[in-house]
Amino acid sequence: MITWPWTERPLRMVWRVERGARRSHIVGTAHFFPYTFARPLSRLIRPVDVVLTEGPLDVASSERIAEAGRSGTNDLATRLPPTTIRAIEKILRERADHNGEAWLIPPSDAVFFEAYTNGVRPWAAFFSIWGTYLNWRYSVDAEGYRIARKLGKEIRALETLDEQLAVLDGIPIERIERQLNDVANWDAYRREYVDLYLAGDLEGIIAQSARFVTRGPMVIGERDRRMYEALRPVFDAQDATAFAGFPHIPGVVRLFSEAGYTVTQVTA
C-alpha cells in the first residue's frame, strides 16, 4: 500500500492513447493546485523521450506573459459594485496579513484591489487576484515541465506564446466580471474543484467549471483541434507524454477516438 505525503496525491486525470505499438499519455492539467503529483508525473515522463506542454513554460516565456499583462488597462474598478470590491479587498488583505504584511490600522480604501488591477490587462488582474486567493503552491503544468527538464527530456509546446496571449486577450471582460462578482461562492467552488480533479471526474469538473473565465468557446473549442493536430504526428512516431488543460481533454480525446486510436482513462 502506498502512503502518500499530505501534499501528494495519485493522479487520475490521465488518458492513455494507443495505436499499434505506440502508447502515449495525455495529462489533463490544473494550472493551480494545492497538491503535488511529483511521483505519478515522474512515472509518466521517465520512459519517454518527448514531453509536450500546452504552451512554452521557460523563464523567458513566463516573463513575456507577465510583461504583456502589465501592458494594458481595465475598467474593473468601475464595472464591479462596491460590495464585490470590498469582499475581494478583504481576501487580499487577509492573504497579506498571513504573509507577514500586517496592518496596525487597516486602511479604509481598497488599496490591494487597486494595486492588483491598476495598469494591467483584465486577464492579468483576474489571475493575480485568483492566484492570491487560492494561495496554492503547485501547478500540474509547471511540475511536469520541471520534472521533464530534470530528466533531460525534449520539451515541445503545443501552442506558441503569441497564440496563448491572443487567447487571453480574447477573454470577454463580462466573463471576468461575472467570476469576480461570484466571490461569495469561491470557497465552495474551490473545494469542489479539488475533489473532482482528485477523483478524475472529468465530466463533473467540466460541468462545475463551465462558468470559469477561461471556459469560453475561443479558449476551448477552437484550440482542441490545433492541439490534436500537433499531438498526432508525435504519438504516431514515438511514445510521449503530453500536458493539456483538462477542459481540452474531451475534444482532443474525441478526435483521437474518431481517428481509430484506443483511448483509456488511467491512474498514474
pLDDT digits (tens, 9 = 90+) for 121-136: 999 999 999 999 999 9
Q: What is the pLDDT of residue 99?
A: 56
- C-beta atoms surrounding 90 within 10 Å: 15
Q: What is the pLDDT of residue 95?
A: 87
Q: What is the pLDDT of residue 214?
A: 76
What does each C-alpha distance from 2 to 7, 171, 188 come to in angstroms?
14, 42, 30
Handedness of CA 38, 99, 197, 226 (dihedral sign): negative
- Determine the average pLDDT of the residues in 180-202: 96
Residue 35: which of 56, 58, 6, 78 has the closest Cα?
6
Alpha carbon distance 256, 100 (integer Å): 49
Is the per-residue pLDDT at 107 higher than 90? no
What are the tens digits of pLDDT across the range 165-175? 998 999 999 99
With a CB cutoff of 8 Å and minimum separation 6, the contacts of 206 are 246, 247, 250
- Determine the average pLDDT of the residues in 168-196: 95
Alpha helices (H) in the chain, listed in sequence order: 38-45, 59-70, 76-79, 82-98, 111-117, 122-134, 140-150, 161-169, 173-181, 186-199, 202-208, 221-237, 249-258
Q: What phi-psi label fits residue 121: left (phi over 0), alpha (psi between -120 and 50 degrees) or beta?
A: beta
Longest dimension (CA), the chain: 68
Q: Are 116 and 96 in contact (CB under 8 A)?
A: no
The structure's pTM equals: 0.90
Is the per-residue pLDDT at 220 higher than 80? no
| Domain ranges within the chain, ordered by starting residue | 14-73+139-266
Is the per-residue pLDDT at 65 higher than 80? yes
- Determine the average pLDDT of the residues in 139-147: 97
Residue 19 is placed in which grid cell? 495505436
Q: What is the pLDDT of residue 171?
A: 92
> How confident is residue 106, by pLDDT bands cut at 50, 70 and 90?
low
Q: What is the pLDDT of residue 1?
A: 37
Q: Are 27 and 242 in contact (CB under 8 A)?
A: yes
Alpha carbon distance 82, 85 (integer Å): 5
> How confident is residue 209, by pLDDT bands cut at 50, 70 and 90?
confident
Which helix (H) or strand (E) segment holds residue 29: the answer is strand 22-29
- Determine the average pLDDT of the residues in 12-29: 97
- Determine the average pLDDT of the residues in 140-146: 97
Q: What percent of the chain has pLDDT over 90?
A: 83
Q: What is the pLDDT of residue 102?
A: 47
> How confident is residue 83, by pLDDT bands cut at 50, 70 and 90?
very high
